[in-house]
Structure 1
């Protein structure tokens, strides 16, 4: 691969579009595709400044790994030390499930390990939620629609082993820069030092979250919703699309005659 191809591979790994990447390094649309064989030092500085974990040697020569190896060193260490910071129990030492509603999620980013903050959250007991520590989060937005509806709830089990986190699972990821996000994850932590978080709703972008941004991961085990989706709507859309295709076929036949 040449430099342009490696940049495109990095963009794809980060879950970005080419235009979003160009905007992030303050270049005009079409810049990446205009690169021939080499790239100017000024543009390299912009890229490294914006993406400090990118391995400059790999970008220029193709040698080594895409990301700086220093990023991977604390990964194994962090795997070993993961444990819930606060666990809530009742008078009978039965574990309770705290609810983090939308209005409390900004505070949770700094209070997730604060006993006082967690104790102020409402708590619940739910069936079949044993053998683990659980937390309930309210969903905000439509990025996971129709899998999850806006203002519905998910119950997540604390993930204490990020190394073996299964891909294609819906998780609540507590991050420093993106806040609390609910996404379908692909585990690329070992490979790239990032967690690739996908939206089920294709109108919303995917997010690649660096390891150092992640504070907690909760694998969703239950979904609570007050909305009953009407499948007729989807069927109607398919039927309308089939009618449009049939009409176009008939129109083409008439033109051929």
Structure 2
């Protein structure tokens, strides 16, 4: 599969949730044509033109892989900005299935500058996860205790790419926000006020030690909604149960000692 075919696959994931039939209808072409493109057949010029017109795709991106996927401007109307962006780089395995690329915490700074660099992304380790289909996914390593106890230090999360930040970022959900403004970690619980105040509030679950950060949407590079949490340090609840049992016994003893 060459570059154009990979980018068509990426468009299908973004605009049609990976559904060939839906994607074919959007472009007004046969589903068999879409299948052939995914199998490596290079599309003709008229099909590329349909893709560019129907989806407002940048011709340089679809043909050469250069520049943004879409020639988007921040649309300002009534004082509100419309932010809608797309991942530039995805990787696939030998079966043309999307890989889940892992961004270790040690490469966090590098990812901020290389998130749209094919060479950088292709060097990152990649995996497949059961149940994560029909989307573009990325894995991030958690470092620190800003999201403790929900997400412990050194655990991993898998996020699905969010293309429409205004409508798709839901309040009190956890997201990986790729922005230079977030210094203590990618992953935060968000409150979406982009449309109303041009602001994204990023909150830590450990709020006593980590204050809320207000993010200017214009600084955001990518947004990934967390769908899966992997934790290799399985806690032993025995200590908690023992303390609860001791507390219950103490309460019962106090009841017996109190005068009736």
Over 3 Å counting, the alpha-carbon distance change for 1:169 and 1:233 in structure 2 is: farther
SS in 2 for 1:75: strand
Over 3 Å counting, the alpha-carbon distance change for 1:202 and 1:158 in structure 2 is: same
Task: Report the alpha carbon displacement of residue 241 of structure 1 after superposing the two structures with TM.
Answer: 8.4
Is residue 182 from structure 1 mapped to residue 187 from structure 2 by the alignment? yes
Question: Which of 145, 148, 153 in structure 1 is aligned with 2:148?
Answer: 145
Task: Report the alpha carbon displacement of residue 100 of structure 1 after superposing the two structures with TM.
Answer: 0.3
Is residue 218 from structure 1 mapped to residue 224 from structure 2 by the alignment? yes
> 2:120: which partner in 1?
117
Alignment of 1:41-52 (within 5 A): none
Task: Report the alpha carbon displacement of residue 183 of structure 1 after superposing the two structures with TM.
Answer: 1.0
> 2:208: which partner in 1?
203
Question: Which of 171, 174, 196 in structure 2 is aligned with 1:170?
Answer: 174
> 1:108: which partner in 2?
111
Distance in 1, matches of 2:103 and 2:171, equals 24
Q: Is the 8 A contact 2:80 2:195 kept in 1?
A: no
Structure 1 length normalisation: TM-score?
A: 0.61
Over 3 Å counting, the alpha-carbon distance change for 1:242 and 1:72 in structure 2 is: farther
Q: Which runs of 5+ in 2 are unaligned?
A: 1-75, 253-257
- The 4+ residue runs of structure 1 with deviation greater than 4 A are 70-74, 232-246
Is residue 229 from structure 1 mapped to residue 232 from structure 2 by the alignment? no
Q: Is the 8 A contact 1:174 1:181 kept in 2?
A: yes
Question: Which of 88, 93, 98 in structure 1 is aligned with 2:91?
Answer: 88
Q: Is the 8 A contact 1:171 1:184 kept in 2?
A: yes
Q: Is the 8 A contact 1:72 1:193 kept in 2?
A: no
Over 3 Å counting, the alpha-carbon distance change for 1:73 and 1:245 in structure 2 is: farther
Task: Report the alpha carbon displacement of residue 140 of structure 1 after superposing the two structures with TM.
Answer: 0.7
> 1:48: which partner in 2?
none
Over 3 Å counting, the alpha-carbon distance change for 1:71 and 1:233 in structure 2 is: farther
Q: Is the 8 A contact 1:143 1:203 kept in 2?
A: no
Q: Is the 8 A contact 1:183 1:197 kept in 2?
A: yes
Per-residue deviation, residues 206-227 of structure 1 (Å, max 9, x unmatched): 2111112211110000011111
SS in 1 for 2:81: helix
The alignment yields a C-alpha RMSD, in angstroms, of 3.0
Over 3 Å counting, the alpha-carbon distance change for 1:142 and 1:119 in structure 2 is: same
Residues paired across the two proteins, number: 180
Task: Report the alpha carbon displacement of residue 72 of structure 1 after superposing the two structures with TM.
Answer: 7.6
Structure 2 length normalisation: TM-score?
A: 0.61
Is residue 161 from structure 1 mapped to residue 164 from structure 2 by the alignment? yes
Q: Which runs of 5+ in 1 are unaligned?
A: 1-69, 247-252
Over 3 Å counting, the alpha-carbon distance change for 1:220 and 1:72 in structure 2 is: farther
Distance in 2, matches of 1:238 and 1:213, equals 47
Distance in 1, matches of 2:78 and 2:251, equals 51
Distance in 2, matches of 1:188 and 1:156, equals 21
Task: Report the alpha carbon displacement of residue 243 of structure 1 after superposing the two structures with TM.
Answer: 10
Task: Report the alpha carbon displacement of residue 128 of structure 1 after superposing the two structures with TM.
Answer: 0.8
